[in-house]
Amino acid sequence: MTAETQDVKSKTNPLYDPKVRAIIAQIVVVVLFVGFVLYIIDNTQANLERNGVSAGFDFMGLTAGFMPTGPNFNMTNFNMNTSTHGDVFILGLVNTILISVIGIVLATIVGFIMGVLRLSSNVLISFVATCYIEGTRNIPLLLQILVWYFGVILLLPHVKQSFDIFGVFFLNSRYLAFPSVSFNDTAGYALVALIIAGLGMFLYYCFTLYRGQGSSTSASADTDEDEGDKLWVLWILIGFAISLPAASIIRPIFGDLSHLLLMNPVTAVLYGVVFVKVVGLVTPRGTTGKPVFRALTGFLIGLPMAGFFAEFGMAVYLALNAAVAAAAGIYAMIQWAQSRLDETGKPLPVFWMCLGLVIGVPLVVLIVTGFPVNFDVPELKGFNYRGGAQIPASMMGLLAALTFYTGAFIAENVRAGIQAVSHGQTEAAHALGIRPSKTMRLVIIPQAMRVIVPPVTSQYLNLTKNSSLAIAIGYPDLVNVFTGISLNQTGKALEIIAMTMLVYLTISLLISLFMNWYNTKVALVER
């Protein structure tokens, strides 16, 4: 029998072997693909030569010679006479990130409220919420942007008849003026205090973890794994936190060279290697390995970012440091409170503790140093409001449209998420004697988040991509100023479109990395 099968096998034409076929098919595909790419490259070269256009990124250093943004909305201090196309790119990138972040925050708020309202027991409320959701979801975003801009905001009163809101906000058809906050130099101490408090909390938590790990050598494999799980986010944060001071040390020493040292992946890898060595020395055995590489990831992401933000001056830089420190502190506090809850059964008021850290600590320092904060309230002088800060009409229009459009989609995700939690969960919680408010917060929402977060993250990504529609109403985002105006001026279609796509690709990659991390974190552990 076996001999016969072997005989048959030897006679079979290798062409019928699926493996051979797969290889042949792939060779064909590769040849076709490479041929296609070569054909395109050849055509492109011929076309570029014919048009007398040279390829390359030299244009990034050329003076742009146009003003992509208004004087009241110029966060990167763009200067028409000296700024280059590279600066146009930075300006567009900053504006894209700005509108995306604000839009994401607002859309989340609108979406959660509307999603919950749609499930209201009051039919009128749920009807209104349904009307909002169906109305905005079924009308193209571009149309909504135009309606908000041309149909609402441009029809607001002129500057002289601005709506006066509490005497500090002034809304008219050109902008929303609002008071700006400026800090004296001594206000930096508040941020420094926050950095110290946050990092201190974090390091204390690391210390308790480290001690716990050292003592529980005989712990079961299960808890070890658990600890390792907790540690890995921590390592990314450590890496990130260290990269910021690292950048601040490198910057003053090397001056202009710091560009090369910070923004360069090769040197970043070098730092990373040194860092891994150091971490390897201080971490206990068994935890080096994966966590170190996670720390490295954090460091490698953090360093170029730190270098990038250092460009905007000390205040921004300090604020970023403070934000990272606060995040680390909050993380440590949540984890610490959780482990205390596990040990003693006593809950800690984590929310208030975090609030105390993020707002209380800087506030106390501010008061101690004599409140070195100035509010600059806008005032009508001549034909315009002077002082304070302004949101241009285009940004208001885009923001309103993005918020309400994405909010409708988020509302649907929220509704689906809440409905996905079976009613038995509520009943079980009630049977255990948990109060309704706590049932919602501790039983329903955590389970609903599992369903809500992945689609909502992709809505965030959509919002970021949709912010490119700014071009329709002239908000100076990346696509508008760089892919639009710079491309028209320089004619470097290939380079500019490639760079634009790369930016969005990076953002989307970061968001999907987060999503994967979250999914693995909250995934149901099944049998």
* DSSP secondary structure letter of residue 140: -
- The CB-of-234 to another protein minimum distance in angstroms stands at 29
Helix, strand, coil percentages in the chain from 3-state DSSP, rounded to 5: 75, 5, 20
Q: Which is nearer to another protein, 106 or 507 (CB)?
A: 507
Q: Which is nearer to another protein, 341 or 505 (CB)?
A: 505
- The CB-of-47 to another protein minimum distance in angstroms stands at 5
- The CB-of-409 to another protein minimum distance in angstroms stands at 11
- 270 alpha-carbon distance from chain centroid: 26
Is residue 101 part of the contact set for another protein (CB under 8 A)?
no
For residue 376, with 0-12 CB atoms within 10 Å meaning exposed, 13-18 middle and 19 or more buried, which class applies?
A: middle
- The CB-of-44 to another protein minimum distance in angstroms stands at 5
Q: Which is nearer to another protein, 48 or 263 (CB)?
A: 48
**Which of 66, 169, 293, 504 touches another protein (CB under 8 A)?**
504
Is residue 371 part of the contact set for another protein (CB under 8 A)?
no
Is residue 252 part of the contact set for another protein (CB under 8 A)?
no
404 token code pair:
């309400």
Q: Which is nearer to another protein, 33 or 514 (CB)?
A: 33
**Which of 6, 29, 35, 58 touches another protein (CB under 8 A)?**
29
Is residue 19 part of the contact set for another protein (CB under 8 A)?
yes
- Span 34-93, contacts to another protein by CB under 8 A: 40, 43-44, 46-48, 50
- The CB-of-9 to another protein minimum distance in angstroms stands at 17
Is residue 465 part of the contact set for another protein (CB under 8 A)?
yes
Residues 281 and 285: their CA atoms lie apart, in Å, by 9
Is residue 20 part of the contact set for another protein (CB under 8 A)?
no
Q: Which is nearer to another protein, 157 or 349 (CB)?
A: 157
Nearest Cα residue to 156 out of 338, 379, 397: 397
- The CB-of-218 to another protein minimum distance in angstroms stands at 42
DSSP element (H, E) containing 183:
strand 180-183
The stretch near another protein (CB under 8 A) out of 223-231, 242-250, 296-304, 506-514 is: 506-514
- Span 113-132, contacts to another protein by CB under 8 A: 120-125, 128
Is residue 469 part of the contact set for another protein (CB under 8 A)?
yes
- Among left, alpha and beta (phi > 0; psi -120 to 50; other), residue 176 is beta
- The CB-of-491 to another protein minimum distance in angstroms stands at 9
Please say whether the beta carbons of 393 and 475 come within 8 A.
no
Residues 6+ apart with CB under 8 A from 364: 193
362 token code pair:
């800087």
**Which of 6, 17, 30, 352 touches another protein (CB under 8 A)?**
30
Residues 6+ apart with CB under 8 A from 85: 59, 60, 61, 62, 64, 482, 486, 489, 490
167 token code pair:
């005497």
- Give the Cα-Cα-Cα angle 299, 234, 277 (nearest 5 degrees): 50
Residue 518 identity (one-letter amino acid): Y
Please report, to the nearest 10 degrees, the dihedral formed by the alpha carbons of residues 401, 404, 407, 411 taken in order. Answer: -150
- Span 131-160, contacts to another protein by CB under 8 A: 134-135, 137-143, 146-147, 150-151
Q: Which is nearer to another protein, 77 or 121 (CB)?
A: 121
Nearest Cα residue to 398 out of 482, 504, 473: 473
Name the pairing type of β-strands 169-171 and 163-165: antiparallel
Helix boundaries (H) for 119-187: 123-137, 141-146
Distances (CA, A) of 499 to 260, 349, 495, 496: 20, 46, 6, 5
The stretch near another protein (CB under 8 A) out of 25-33, 296-304, 368-376, 516-524 is: 25-33
The stretch near another protein (CB under 8 A) out of 65-73, 158-166, 185-193, 487-495 is: 487-495
Nearest Cα residue to 98 out of 498, 510, 463: 463
Q: Which is nearer to another protein, 18 or 255 (CB)?
A: 18
Q: What are phi and psi of 375, to 5 degrees?
A: -100, 125
Is residue 363 part of the contact set for another protein (CB under 8 A)?
no
472 token code pair:
């329709």
Residues 44 and 57: their CA atoms lie apart, in Å, by 16
- Give the Cα-Cα-Cα angle 399, 404, 410 (nearest 5 degrees): 120
Query: Rg of the Cα trace of the chain?
Result: 28
**Which of 171, 236, 479, 515 touches another protein (CB under 8 A)?**
479
- The CB-of-126 to another protein minimum distance in angstroms stands at 9
Q: Which is nearer to another protein, 46 or 373 (CB)?
A: 46
Residues 411 and 107: their CA atoms lie apart, in Å, by 9
Is residue 505 part of the contact set for another protein (CB under 8 A)?
yes
**Which of 183, 471, 490, 518 touches another protein (CB under 8 A)?**
471
Residues 488 and 227: their CA atoms lie apart, in Å, by 55
- The CB-of-344 to another protein minimum distance in angstroms stands at 37
**Which of 109, 219, 316, 501 touches another protein (CB under 8 A)?**
501
**Which of 18, 214, 252, 370 touches another protein (CB under 8 A)?**
18
Q: Which is nearer to another protein, 135 or 289 (CB)?
A: 135
- For binding to another protein (CB under 8 A), which residues are involved? 18-19, 22, 25-26, 29-30, 33, 40, 43-44, 46-48, 50, 120-125, 128, 134-135, 137-143, 146-147, 150-151, 461, 465-466, 468-469, 471-472, 479, 483, 487, 493-494, 497, 500-501, 504-505, 507-509
